[in-house]
Each structure stands twice: as C-alpha cells, then as structure tokens.
Structure 1
Amino acid sequence: MIHLLRGRLSALVALALMVAPALGARYGAGIENSQWYLSESVFDCTLTHDVPSYGKAVFRHQAGKELSFYLESGNRLMRPGRGQLIVEAPAWRPGSNPRSIGHIDVDESHRPVTLDARQSMLIIGGLLEGMAPTLSRQAWYSDESIRISLSNINFARSFESYRSCVASLLPVNYDQIKRSRIPFTSGSTRLSNADYELLDSIVLYVQADSTVERVFVDGHSDSIGSRINNRALSEQRANIVAEYLKEQGIPEDRLTVRAHGDQFPASQRAADNRRTTIRLQRQGGRPALQRANSTYIDDANG
C-alpha cells in the first residue's frame, strides 16, 4: 500500500511539474479570431472581448457610474498580488517599445482584475493606437509570467458604437435612485432646483424600467408644533412631490402617496425629519408591511 501511495504521489508531482511551465504563457486573440461584442441599453453598455483559453476582457459603463474594465476567467492562472499593465506592439507589428501604464491588483475571484476609469481609458487609448494592452502577473503554480493581451483588431468600429451607447445612458441607475430623499426647511413645502433635477431623474428611470411597478411617496415633518398641523404639512409635502411626478408622466395608478406627520423620525435632528422620501418597488419586490391601524410602515422613515 505504501509503495502504491508513493507511486501515485510521484505521478502527481510529475504532472504538476509538467503543467506549471505551460501556465507561464501569453493569452490573446490572433488576427483570425479577434472579436469585440457590444451589449447595449439605456442602463448599461458592455464591450466584451474573448481571450482564447483564458476568458473575457470587458469594458463596462453603467448608468450613473464611471467606466470600468475587468478580466473574467473560470481558471486561476494568475497569483494574487501586484501585477503590471503595459501597452506593447502586437506580434504582427514589431518595433515599438512597450510602455508601462501602471500596476494592477490581482485577486482570487472569477474577476481577478478590475480597473478604474483612468486605467480603463489608458487601455482604450492603446487599442485605438493599434497597440496590444497587456496585463501580466506571476503564474499561480510557477514563477513564470501570465500575460493577457487585448487585440486591437475590430476594436475601433465596435468602440464607436459603444460611445454612442454611453451617450444614451440614463443619468442614474436603480441602486442610486431606488430610495431618494427631498429635504424641506421648517414649515416649507417648496421644492428647489436640485429637487426638481432629482425628480426628473426618477421619472426618466421609471419610464425606462418596466419592472418598476410602484412608486411610494412618503411625507414627513419634525415634531415642532401640533400633531394635527404636522400631519397636514407632511401631506402637503408628499402631494407636491407626487403631483410633479404625475405631471412629468408617471401614471397615477403607480403612485402610492402617504403622510406620516412626525410619526417616523429619521433622527433626533429636526432638520433630518422634514422630508419626503421616494422609494421604487420592482416586480417581485417586498410589499409594504401594514399595521393593524392601516398605517404603512415599510420604509416610511426613509
């Protein structure tokens, strides 16, 4: 039995030694198989490049966010840690000296590399110059280097369509707009220019996203003064917001308007409690809870 185990162990070690050097390699598309694929909507623009035998390289621009870039792979080829990002000439265009454009951080996830807008634009600049941006890091199972190269072949045409998509993105995404708050000064029901801009963004998003089935508008007040007056004031604050949303095109049957007076303070500061909150609910989202006295309490305090 011991001899059998030793034999199997020796075979595994030999296999590891054979595989490890193979991982110290360059991965990238050639002239014959370099493609860039655009997925576009008003919510998200994604430009994807298949890297044969590795995975994908993706530029993504979500509504309300900056451009980002990431690598995606089902295999752990690069060791976690700090790698390099360079721009070099592709194999079919020798002669240009490579230039470094910064470090990259590699982690253990299926998206081992994620870059911010600045580095993403540097990669795009290199591709538009006809170069091959390359991300490199030590291999997971050896001391050699793993190099992921992006091909500029067919990039420029796809990038033009990508730019058009980005120009048509909504100003906000769902996570940014699903819960919003409009503050008021003491005793006031007036909306500011910034409030109108926020409400316009909400309208644009709701009109674009057919999965939003309900918009909750909740008016609140501080506890200064009588409860009767505070309830009336909170109702006015909710109504002024709801009326504007209706005027801009949100159907009345998708609006739920509620007034809470000083019942649900957001904090001990009076200024924080003078507010109207707007919450979007998508299909299948958690419905509002309801007390025995018929007062809705889900997210009523914003």
Structure 2
Amino acid sequence: MATHSALFPRTAALVGALWLCASGSAQSSSFGAGIENSQWYVSESVFECALVHEVPGYGRAIFRHRAGEQLSFILESDTGLMRPGRGSVVVEAPAWRPGAAPRKVGSVEVGGGRRPVTLGARQSMMVAQGLLDGMMPTVTRESWYDRRPVRVRVSNINFAREFDRYRLCTAGLLPVNYDQIKRSRIPFRAGSTSLSDSDQALLDNIVRYVQADSTIERIFVDGHTDGSGSRIDNRALSEERANAVADYLIAQGLPADLITVRAHADQYPVSNRAADNRRTTIRLQREGERPELQQANGYESGFAG
C-alpha cells in the first residue's frame, strides 16, 4: 500500500472539507459502517496476516501481524481528514447498547500520509478485545479544514468470526520476516569456526524463510577474521567460518547452488574491536535487487555491522 506525498493530506482534506460543508451536519465528521454494511475480511500468508474493515467515507481499519513482529492496528485514510497531532482512542458502546461504560485505550500520535494512525501491540489488543466485547473502538482527532473533531468508529458487526480466522493465520506465520534476516551475522570466538546453539537457531530461521520465499535468488556467505594472524592464516580461517555456515544451511535443506561462499580474511573490518571482526555474514538477495550496491561484508554501503 503506497504512501502518498506530503501534499496528499492537504489536498484530500480540502476535498473532505467541501464534502462535509455540503452535508451541513454536525454528525458528518463521524465515519463508520452500519449494521447493513459492516464487513471484515482476512488477507493471509505465512509472511503476514491482515484483518481488514472498510470504513465508509474514510478508508480502512486494519489489524496487521507481520512475521517476526507484534500485532499492530492501523487506520488507512483515503481522504486525509485528520490534522497531525495528539488524538485519542476510546472503546465505547454502539448506539444499540446504551448504558455501557466507555473504556479509554489511550492517546495516539496522528501523522500525515495515507496511514495516519498506528497503534502498538498493547493498544491494538485492547481495540480487538473491545470489538470482541461488542463495543465500538473510536479514534478522534481534530480535522485539517477546521478544528471540529473527526471521529472514526470501527464496527464490531461480523468481527468475531473473521478474528478467529485471523488468529489461525497468525499461528502459521514464519518466525522472522525478510527485513529481520536479509542481513545476518554469526560471531566467532578467536580462532574458532564452531556454531553455537543460538547461531544454529538463527540459521534455522533463515532456512525456513528462504524455503517459503521463492523470490530469493542468491545467498551470499562471507567469512571474516580480525587482524591478529598472518594474511594466509586469516584467509584460511575466514573460509572455514564461511563454509561452516554454508554447510549448515545446506544440511538443513537449502540448495548448494543458491549459496555463494566468499572468504575475506581481515580485509573488511567493521570496527576497531577484534571481536566485531570475527564473523560470517549472510545476505539474502531477492529477484530484482541490485547486487552492485552491496559490499562484500554483507551489508549495504554505509552500514557498519
């Protein structure tokens, strides 16, 4: 879902202001689905699960859980009506449940662009629980075009059934996402080529991800040493370290022809600390990425790690 330019909120807000002024109603700054048009649907894969709700006249409310990350709740706006700044989130009773006490979820920083509201895991679960309790979470923030409140209400109608599907999806997510493992690093003790249990756990996650993502076309495994030995010894040691990682990946099921092993000795130090330089880096490359921008240490130009 693309992010619009900085001009988007002001332009869309003007359109929204004209529409609201034309409606002439104090209620026109409230948005939400009614009983007859409240729909939720699940988008699911091993990489990400999303539970999406259309908010007529405003955009979408989205529960999103990406592999390796926590739950978030997002408001996606088609009209950019909210002014950036501090807003509020409250779980309140719908019109057909008078008398139920509202519950404050907390404040939220409303931004610009197409996704002005994003809640963290704790507040997102409070919103989800409110919906399961038959309540109506509401985000409020003043508008761009005047200082009247804009209220976005999230309907609980048809939520519970799709939320069960959504939870089943999250149970099948991969343990990591691409951004978390596209640049990975295995440290080594002085003179060692052994992989620890935590190193193997990281490599297991890389294997699971690559097996699921058919767009991965190359894995670069680069061995490095500190500068304490001779160049010949360091070259041999860096090759052993790279091979230790590559051999493990292959033993866990990755094709050998997917992996490129390189040994660099102490040619690419990343810091003045010897321990930081005793490492093997793993870099994943997807179809369409530009390998000429990548350094041999496994990180993008300008990144020290």
Compute the TM-score of the two structures, normalised by the length of structure 2.
0.88
The reply on whether 1:210 has 2:238 as its aligned counterpart is no
Q: 1:143 to 1:298 in 2, by over 3 A?
A: closer
Preserved CA contact (<8 Å) 1:21 1:142 = no
Deviation at 1:19, TM superposition (A): 4.4
CA offsets, 1:157-197, max 9 Å, x none?
10011111111111111011001010101101111111000
C-alpha distance in structure 1 between counterparts of 2:296 and 2:45, whole Å: 30
Residue identity opposite 1:112 in structure 2: P
Who is 1:186 aligned against?
Answer: 190
1:195 to 182, 186, 199: 199
Aligned-pair identity (%):
64
Q: Secondary structure at the match of 1:228?
A: helix
Q: 1:250 to 1:17 in 2, by over 3 A?
A: closer
**Pairwise CA RMSD:** 1.8
Q: Secondary structure at the match of 1:279?
A: strand
CA offsets, 1:244-283, max 9 Å, x none?
0000010001000111111111222111111100000001
The reply on whether 1:177 has 2:181 as its aligned counterpart is yes
Residue identity opposite 2:62 in structure 1: V
Q: 1:176 to 1:257 in 2, by over 3 A?
A: same
Larger radius of gyration: 1
2:29 to 5, 25, 30: 25
Residue identity opposite 2:242 in structure 1: A
Deviation at 1:113, TM superposition (A): 1.0
Structure 1: tracts of 5 or more residues without a match: 1-14, 290-296
Q: Secondary structure at the match of 2:260?
A: strand
1:247 to 239, 244, 251: 251
Structure 2: tracts of 5 or more residues without a match: 1-17, 300-305
Preserved CA contact (<8 Å) 1:72 1:110 = yes
CA offsets, 1:182-219, max 9 Å, x none?
01011011111110000000000100000001110011
CA offsets, 1:212-252, max 9 Å, x none?
01110011111112111111111110111100000001000
1:82 to 77, 83, 86: 86
Who is 1:283 aligned against?
Answer: 287
The reply on whether 1:299 has 2:299 as its aligned counterpart is no
Q: How many pairs are equivalent?
A: 281
Q: 1:215 to 1:36 in 2, by over 3 A?
A: same
Who is 1:102 aligned against?
Answer: 106
Of 97-106 and 237-246, the range deviating more from structure 2: 97-106
Residue identity opposite 2:220 in structure 1: F
